[in-house]
Amino acid sequence: MTLKTNKSKLEEQIEENLKRVYQERVIEPVPDKFLDLIRQLKEQATQDAK
């Protein structure tokens, strides 16, 4: 079953650009600042559980 849609050139361009920007963000590494925060939160949770 195939879904046919009539997209305008503008819609196709928008879709292509959104996919490209999203893909760039997906492969971007997590900043060290966030990794440190996650580590601190995990340590705090471990200490609170004791």
The per-residue pLDDT for range 1-50, each reduced to its tens digit, is 455 567 899 999 999 999 999 998 889 899 999 999 999 999 999 998 87
Q: Which pLDDT belongs to residue 13?
A: 95
Q: What is the pLDDT of residue 3?
A: 55
**What is the pTM assigned to this prediction?**
0.47
The domain limits of the chain are 13-49
* Max CA distance (Å), the chain: 60
Taken in order 39, 40, 43, 49, the sign of the CA dihedral is negative
Look at residue 4 in the predicted model and tell me its pLDDT: 57
Residue 12 confidence (pLDDT): 94
Radius of gyration of the chain (CA): 21
